[in-house]
Each structure stands twice: as structure tokens, then as C-alpha cells.
Amino acid sequence: MARECIALPTLEELGVASTQPTLAGGESAALKRLRAFIATRLERYDQERDSLAAGRTSRLSQDLHFGTLSPKQVFYATERSSPHRQAYERFTAQLLWREFAYHTLWDFPEVLTRPFARKFEGFPWRGGEPEWQAWWQGRTGYPVIDAAARQLLTEGFVHNRARMITASFLTKDLLVDFRRAEQHYLKWLTDGDEALNDMGWQWSSGTGCDPQPYFRIFNPVTQAEKFDAEGHYVKRYVPELERLPPRYVHRPWEAPVSVLREAGVVLDRDYPAPILDHSEARKRFLTLADSFLGKARG
């Protein structure tokens, strides 16, 4: 009896643009990435891993997720190859964080649907559809937030520092429930992993196991200026701003009209004005959280 042939779907049918940058899959490609990381980036990992533009992270997360590399394999390869103990230990800490996320999900599977910290159960996430749409489409008016959103949609990857900044902004500035963003990231990430994705979102929102304290709120401008000083990361994903000087690329609303004109930018035409004022949003979140958590304790 002849077997029925089933055609593999095309990239277009899967919703992936053929021009979208992708990483080569398989064990050989994974090993090549591991060797390249050890040879060119591991020795300064502790100093440069947070640089948004430099691309100094390992880029092994999808290989670890799909099993084309094992954590032990990466651990021993980096241990044998690095005389830079501090860099190696910092990188190893990230491998251990992965294992911690898996153990947390194993012991507490309910974290995929509810906060790990029960005191946040029923928290009044007030962010609505306009805030959500602006965030995921990369139209908030905060360049580093918009760059992260667009990197996710075009590459299926977001730099870890950018993930933390944009997660803090969504949950604390925009007051959008972290679970909505968690599902959005899981849909688009090439390295999308339920345990790690949930751990990251709950850490950033302050609701997770050993999280960032809820009252610590990233300032998207100062974070961007610290980790993308020249604006290369932002300009890569938000090309509307590529002609702005570094002084204003992370705060275009403060640029003089003459500077904006020279850069070919008209706010709210070429690039949106900020969706809100961060300092006011910060106060709003702290007031709401302090009130809610005080009642929860009571």
C-alpha cells in the first residue's frame, strides 16, 4: 500500500518571513556557536554580557532548550577553556539559574497560571488594550522598549538585559499582567522555554521566587543610556531614530526641534511621543502596590 505523502509547510505558511534572520539548527551548528563563544566572548563575559549592542552573550539558549547542547556539555567546555575565573563563574551562574527555573516549575507547576508569591494573587493589573498594543508593537515612545519589542518579532530573540527592562516597564509602568506578556514571548521566542520564560517574567514583575523586589523599577532611559550608550541597539531596531545623536536617541522627546528636524523625525508622525511619563508611572505603581500588599498582609 502506498503511503500518503505529507508536504512540509513553507516558511510563509508558518508565518515566518523568508528574510527573517534565523540561526542554523542542529548539533553541528550548536557546537560551532559554543566554540565561537569560548574563543571570542567568554573571557569578558562578566564585563560585557549586559551590553545591548555588543552581542557578547553566548547565544546558546535555543541550543540548550532544544537539546542540541546539554548544560553539562557547556559547563565542562567552558570550565576547561577559560583561564578567566570571574567570567566563567558569572556564566556558570546563568546555567545554574536555568536549573533553578526547572526545579521551581517541577515543584510548583501552578506558577504558569498564578504568581509564585501568593501575596500578589488578585493584584489589580489595570493596563488596558492601548497600553498592550503599544508595547508589543514597539510603539511606546521609549526607544529601548520599542527596540526590544521589534527584536522579538524580527529575530525570535531578545537580549536578556532588554528583556528585564521591557518586562519592568510593562508590568510596573503600564500595569499589564505579566502572564499576558509571558504568553506573547513564548509564542515568538526561538529559545522559548516555559520554565525560564515564567521565571524571567515573574522575577521582573516582583511576583516570583526570589524575585527583584517589587519596589525596584527600572528607568528605561537611564538603563538604555548605561547599556546602550551610543544607541546602536536602539538604532538597529528603531531605524526612525538612526540619525539622532547619542545624547537624544534614548529620549527623543527632549531633543530640540532643530535636532529632530536634522534627524528627519517628527514626534507622533515618524516616531511616537512617550505613552506616559515614567516618573509618574513609577509613583502610581508604588502607591497601588503598597496599598494592595498592605491590605493583603492585613
Q: What is the pLDDT of residue 55?
A: 82
Burial class (CB in 10 A: 0-12, 13-18, 19+), 77: middle
Confidence class for position 247, pLDDT limits 50, 70, 90: very high
Q: What is the pLDDT of residues 55-64, one digit of tens each?
A: 889 999 999 9
Q: What is the pLDDT of residues 89-131, one digit of tens each?
A: 999 999 999 999 999 999 999 999 999 999 999 999 999 999 9
Q: What is the mean pLDDT of residues 257-262?
A: 97
Domain residues of the chain, as ranges? 27-107, 116-298
Confidence class for position 298, pLDDT limits 50, 70, 90: very low
Q: Report the phi/psi class of residue 59: left, alpha or beta, with left for phi > 0 and alpha for psi in -120 to 50.
A: left
Confidence class for position 20, pLDDT limits 50, 70, 90: low
27-107 and 116-298 share one CATH topology? no
**CATH architecture for residues 27-107:** Alpha Horseshoe (1.25)
What would the CATH number be for the domain defined by 116-298? 1.10.579.10
Q: What is the pLDDT of residue 81?
A: 76
Q: What is the pLDDT of residues 124-178, one digit of tens each?
A: 999 999 999 999 999 999 999 999 999 999 999 999 999 999 999 999 999 999 9
Residue closest to 29 by CA, chosen among 54, 60, 3? 60
Is 65 a residue whose pLDDT tops 70?
Answer: yes
Q: Across the chain, what does the average pLDDT equal?
A: 92
- Decide: 60 and 98 in contact? Cβ < 8 Å: no
Q: What is the pLDDT of residue 21?
A: 66
